[in-house]
Structure 1
């Protein structure tokens, strides 16, 4: 099983959820990151129309959600259980960072089911519920305002799970595969620099009798920018428009045609 498939073995467990809208929003947060197994422990209002409404196009996660009476039942068969808790605890190890927790969850889920547990909105998880979990994670929020909505917390941790499962994201648009976006050759850049120097001298911006380091600085600037072939052609076109202006008058703000 690869890391992406491991996401299918990670279940999200919500304990005693108060607001049905949070169940739907959680389903949406899950599905956007490739998670689909939702288990509800004694939800206060479910099924509920608001859960379906806030799920949007993730309604399938809501419809397939399992409802159980206890956290023990929700965790049955899991090899590793991670609790999400914002409150500091006096006992136990220090909480894992979300990214470290996600890495371990994905690694474990490659061979056995994993659960990520969230408590109810008002009080979070009880100490007894935490005793059923192997580790705790905590989102490093702003100390001055650390409140996260339940579905927001699920979204943050679901994102970390997906990031751990997909360490290298494929670009949305693989523009590097298009010939226009390939890097220009050395000869292309030298022709551009010659063109640029000629134009700057023609406009008087560059004094050939006292050039100082202008062209060297411009070379460094464009080398840092690393223009692709398409961008270099645009720059050459701009230079050509200065060298051979077409004479079109550019209307200024306030010129005719306005009342």
Structure 2
């Protein structure tokens, strides 16, 4: 059976777009390729006359955009999040070219929600924003420092997804954990490690980024998330037991005169 992308499960997330024309053009690109889920994080005035003019015949996508105050809010409900960035080596997250990304997204989109995140026109995504994602993707280009217009990048990915097909090769059923659940794992890890007295060599943000990179490569399922929580809970149980024993020992120790 040949599968095509499920457009209802694909969110195109634009982080702090500066130019209304880019938002309007992006809306038009999405409508042309059969997509409608436009998500805007702290956008410019995306409903002005310039944006509406460039969103010709696509006003319902533009005016129906979901507006959020943070990227974390925009990603709520997503199961897999991919950042578009040129900074591949810096983060060493799982990396996909557009064709490779489409091959991954088509079967996943049948049941699960995916967010494709685009950065600011001038500065792209911050380190912190990229760390919220599970993988990264880049549009290969000939020049050393490629720079595509935001709406052009949206159009290229929308076109690639629309034209992609997938031939299932096995019956394995993947049950990916939602974005919110994987984030809960990272916070549980942080709490557990801090309770043990562990101190990272650099700082906690970099420590968590390395764990995110490892965990993201595994494409964690719901059962993987549950397993990680059970491991951390076992740590916490032992810590609670140890703290209780130490407290009992201190309370039972004979007091010397003057105490």
- The verdict on a shared fold, with TM-score over 0.5 as the criterion, is yes
- The alpha carbon displacement at 1:102 in A equals 1.4
Larger relative CO (CA 8 A, sep 6+): 1 or 2?
Answer: 2
Q: Report what 1:70 is aligned to.
A: 70
* Conservation of the 8 A alpha-carbon contact between 1:15 and 1:117: yes
Q: Deviations over 1:94-148 (max 9, x none)?
A: 5211111112112211111111000010000111000111110000012245110
The two structures have a TM-score, normalised by structure 2, of 0.60
* Cα separation, 2, equivalents of 1:41 and 1:52: 18
* Cα separation, 2, equivalents of 1:73 and 1:145: 31
Q: Report what 1:136 is aligned to.
A: 136
- The alpha carbon displacement at 1:89 in A equals 3.8
* Conservation of the 8 A alpha-carbon contact between 1:4 and 1:162: yes
* Conservation of the 8 A alpha-carbon contact between 2:101 and 2:137: yes
SS at match of 2:152: helix
Provide the aligned C-alpha RMSD in A: 1.8
* Conservation of the 8 A alpha-carbon contact between 1:8 and 1:34: no
* Cα separation, 1, equivalents of 2:81 and 2:88: 18
- 1:58 aligned onto 2:58: yes
Larger Rg: 1
Q: Deviations over 1:55-90 (max 9, x none)?
A: 111111001101110111111111111111123442
Structure-2 change in CA distance of 1:107 and 1:166 (3 Å): closer
For structure 2, the 5+ residue unaligned runs are 168-259
- 1:27 aligned onto 2:27: yes
Q: Report what 2:108 is aligned to.
A: 108
* Conservation of the 8 A alpha-carbon contact between 1:7 and 1:106: no
1:118-133 equivalences in 2 (<5 Å):
118-133=118-133
For structure 1, the 5+ residue unaligned runs are 168-259
* Cα separation, 2, equivalents of 1:31 and 1:165: 19
Moved more, 90-99 or 69-78: 90-99
1:178-257 equivalences in 2 (<5 Å):
none
* Conservation of the 8 A alpha-carbon contact between 2:4 and 2:164: no
Structure-2 change in CA distance of 1:35 and 1:88 (3 Å): same
- The alpha carbon displacement at 1:45 in A equals 2.5
Q: Report what 2:39 is aligned to.
A: 39
Q: Report what 1:157 is aligned to.
A: 157
* Cα separation, 1, equivalents of 2:146 and 2:160: 19
Q: Deviations over 1:140-161 (max 9, x none)?
A: 0122451100010111111111
* Cα separation, 2, equivalents of 1:93 and 1:115: 16
* Conservation of the 8 A alpha-carbon contact between 2:5 and 2:161: no
Structure-2 change in CA distance of 1:129 and 1:145 (3 Å): closer
- The alpha carbon displacement at 1:26 in A equals 0.3
